[in-house]
Amino acid sequence: MNRDGNAHNLRLVSAKGKTTGDAGTPFDALAFVQALSSSLELGTVLARLQEHLHAQVHHSGWFFILQESDETWSGGDEDRHRIEYGMSFNNETMGSLILMRGRRFSDDEQQLIEALLGLAAPALANALRFQRLNESLETDELTGLGNRRAFEKQGAQWLADCRRQDRPMSVLAIDLDHFKQINDEYGHSVGDDILRLVAQTLRSTTRESDLCVRMGGEEFLAVLPGADLSRAMECGERIRLAIAALRACAKATDKSALESDGAVKVTASVGVAGVGRGATLQSAYQAADEALYAAKQAGRNRVLAGN
């Protein structure tokens, strides 16, 4: 390929069969580039790319598989014949685009697709960078969970969805007991290990549809769409027991704080609140936090529900 010095950025991976195809509609390269470059939302860029490709080669369906996470976008219908392109820009692999239809893609159509994808590559790369930036801003660096920003953004979206679908929603506030003492006694590296273990525990004890975030320090939240207060209490107890079963290795002078095998004891208190009809995400968080405080006052290592 020989196109604007970017030929090495687009690589044909595989093509099944060949045929002649109908000529597409007249193509305006400037309008194409402007349409894709006018948005930084990856889904929007992909949708506009597919609209322009369809006008030229009339494919019936498509997939785009993101290289770094195997996340997939798709549209249309699967069909017998497919062609796959690996896309990269400035030596950075972005993903694979698969086009499908009932008849084979001709050589001329393949060349046209390659030309369009070469023009689309900068806009797609910008959208991917924008997505990564948003994800990094909403991710806790230490644990890989969401952060407060993720709670406010995604939680608000899920609350709106639950209201629209007339489904319940609950919030869990989780705080590790005596965590400052653990940091003081064993050091922050052990404390960080415990926070990572707790994050893994939250992932394994909640559903994929739940949102788990680290609000800061040793405080975590779980947002449970579709869960009423009873189910949320069950989830909170499941989390509490799983955290109590965690062990982190450390050396300490105060053996009373260690298990017989030299592992650090970890427990957590949990506050639970249902999101009522008139409640906001922030008021539900406050109710869960008040229940958490009550659990601490009642002796820690327990689950209590708020009003």
Same domain, 172 and 206: yes
User: In the annotation, is 71 catalytic?
Assistant: no
Amino acid at the residue 147: N
CA distance 240 to 267: 7
Hey, what amino acid is at 139?
A: T
Evaluate the CA torsion angle 69, 41, 125, 142 in order and state its sign.
Answer: negative
**Residue 181: C-alpha distances to residues 39, 154, 216, 247, 282 (Å):** 49, 33, 17, 16, 29
180 shares a domain with 294: yes
- What is the C-alpha separation between 64 and 41, in angstroms, rounded? 14
Query: How many domains is the chain built from?
Result: 2
**Which domain does 46 fall in, by range?**
7-137
List the CATH number of the domain containing 68.
3.30.450.40
pLDDT in tens, 268-305: 999 999 998 888 999 999 999 999 999 999 999 999 99
> Which residue, of 137, 172, 191, is where some domain finishes?
137
Whether 1 is covered by a domain: the verdict is no
- Token pair, residue 108, equals 């001329």
Say whether pTM exceeds 0.75.
no
User: Is the pLDDT reported for residue 131 higher than 90?
Assistant: no
Whichever domain contains 196, its CATH number is 3.30.70.270
pLDDT in tens, 180-190: 998 888 888 88
For residues 121 and 179, membership in a common domain is answered with no
Annotated catalytic residue within 135, 208, 218, 219: 218
